[in-house]
Amino acid sequence: MTLFGLENLPYGVFSTADGVRRIGVRLGGTVRDVSAIDDALRQPTLNALMALGRPRWTEIRSRITEVAPLSPAIPLAEVRLHLPFDVADYTDFYSSEHHAANVSRILRPQRPGLPAAWKHLPIGYHGRSGTVVVSGTPVERPHGQLAEGVFGPSARLDIEAEVGFVVGVPGRRIPTGRFAEHVFGVVLVNDWSARDIQAFEYQPLGPFLAKSFATSVSPWVVPLDAFATFPAVVQEPRPVSYLLPPGPALDVQLRVEWNGTEVSTPPYAQMYWTAAQQLAHLTVNGASVRTGDLYASGTVSGPSRGEAGSFLELTSNGTEPVKLADGSVRGFLLDGDTVTISATATGAAGTTIGLGSVTGTVCP
């Protein structure tokens, strides 16, 4: 059974030899051009569609389900995939308890443990929309201050395997119960991170240059309607009122490959804070979200080493390197290394659906 059947139909933006960008959906190993179905689909990005709101999303998706199987099938190998939406803003959260605990043990061994506010609110930082790039875009190794008086290229370049949420309908002070009215769909995210730059700069205001150089996203936006929903993890202490009810959890299983070798399988279903709570927290102070805003889950990690969503955790800050299929060993990323993050999820129809993949290769 295909991961990209009629119960999935993720949206993307593609071009063929003529270079014209069109909106299509993925069906199996092909792209189906759906731009003729609605004016909002006759655009070079998904933003106009995403701004329409849930009733129109449902109506258009129903029409696509009827039309797509009859449309000409264009093999994926014959198209170029583009960044599917114009990114208005980018926010990244820190919502895996396993990841937060692991990072504290590695980077703060003298005072391990979760930050004081961690179980009271979804901690996050404001990233840069201008450096969000589509899967396949080369990632240049960043430079920065690595220690007092030391400037140069990062020697501890890392990944963060994440799930991203794309805002369609603008709003502010969005309750958790209205999450599905505002969020259009889901992408995969690799929030590339320079750990040596991060370690020197992040106190007291958090990551800055260690994160802002590149964030890669998958080219397919899977509609929220394609996912099955599940109860969220139990949160103790009980969150304050604007974070309740917690909203739905999604059963997404990630897979991380390093130069073609599978090295970890992070489980998104174990995330402590939900996407609905993240959106509520992001807007509770009156801040607004716009069509095309992207916010990411934060690194997805499970309790075991084989479920780590970052190489910082997987290799214990480089002290326990992993062995790849070609016999080489790695602590952090070397120039020429390629990382691919892929994922599947439980779909609304009870089948397994695909989220595609996000790939990046490090260049000097």
| Catalytic (active-site) positions | 99
Cα 98 to its chain centre, rounded Å, is 18
For tokens 């990551």, the residue is: 207
Strand partners, 325: none
Q: What is the token pair recorded at 356?
A: 């595609």
For tokens 């005072």, the residue is: 111
Task: Please give the Cα distance from 252 to 12 (Å, whole number).
Answer: 20
Contacts by 50-53, CB closer than 8 A, 24 or more apart: 50/85, 50/166, 50/167, 50/168, 50/169, 50/184, 50/291, 50/292, 51/168, 51/169, 51/170, 51/291, 52/168, 53/168, 53/169, 53/181
Task: Please give the Cα distance from 169 to 292 (Å, whole number).
Answer: 9
Task: Please give the Cα distance from 226 to 232 (Å, whole number).
Answer: 18
Task: Decide: 14 and 21 in contact? Cβ < 8 Å.
Answer: yes
